[in-house]
Amino acid sequence: MTEPQDVPEQAASTEAPAPSETAAPLDDSARIAALEAELQETKDKWLRSEAEMANLRTRTKREVEEARLYAVQKFARDVVEAAENLKRGIDSLPKRTDSEPEIITKLRDGFEGIERSFVSLLERNGIARVDPTGAAFDANFHQAMAEQPSTDHPPGTILTAWSQTWTLNGRLLRPAMVVVAKAPAEAAAAK
């Protein structure tokens, strides 16, 4: 048998030459910077996504709440019409006198009790009636049916209301039909 020959150590080495010591730290720091930038970008996307989801949840919650509060709006308008007709019926009864028959007094009292109970039931369910008489005219809640000259009230004041303002949880159902004060003709001509 032949003995193996001594091979110089360099020739026998199969290892790749070691990279220079300055190249390795640059590659690592560049890689770390790229990963940090990618992490920051991913974090920004995640935060935006979370903000969008929070906004979506808030918007959906508000829409569901509004749907719950105002789902009966059409029905409420019809019920308000019935309440207005009941009030008109009571107002059309003859004025109370001492000599009126007892049956008329009982009918009037009964209808007034029904109307009070009906309006109370509506108020418990978010439907409110507001008498605008004496208030300043507001086009958001009142519909002017006529103007009347008045020296007793400033212009724009509601003198009489033909119907009341009705709201459902603060939202207008029916505007009040009103007569609004205006300056008398001679006062307007003097200006």
pLDDT single digits (tens) 166-187: 999 889 999 999 999 998 877 5
Distance between CA 44 and CA 4 in Å, rounded? 65
Report whether 156 contacts 137 (CB < 8 A): yes
Only one residue has tokens 């108020």, namely: 123
Q: Measured at the alpha carbon of residue 145, what is the angle toward residues 126 and 179, in degrees to the nearest 5?
A: 85
| Counted domains in the chain | 2
Q: Are residues 146 and 79 in the same domain?
A: yes
Q: Are residues 166 and 81 in the same domain?
A: yes
Only one residue has tokens 């508000």, namely: 62
Q: Are residues 111 and 167 in the same domain?
A: yes
pLDDT single digits (tens) 63-72: 998 888 788 8
Q: Are residues 62 and 118 in the same domain?
A: no
Q: Are residues 53 and 120 in the same domain?
A: no
Residue-range definition of the domain harbouring residue 34: 29-71
How crowded is residue 165: how many other Cβ atoms within 10 Å of its Cβ?
23
Give the predicted TM-score (pTM) of the model: 0.62
137 within some domain: yes
Q: Which of 71, 87, 121 is the last residue of a domain?
A: 71
Q: Are residues 143 and 85 in the same domain?
A: yes
Distance between CA 6 and CA 139 in Å, rounded? 110
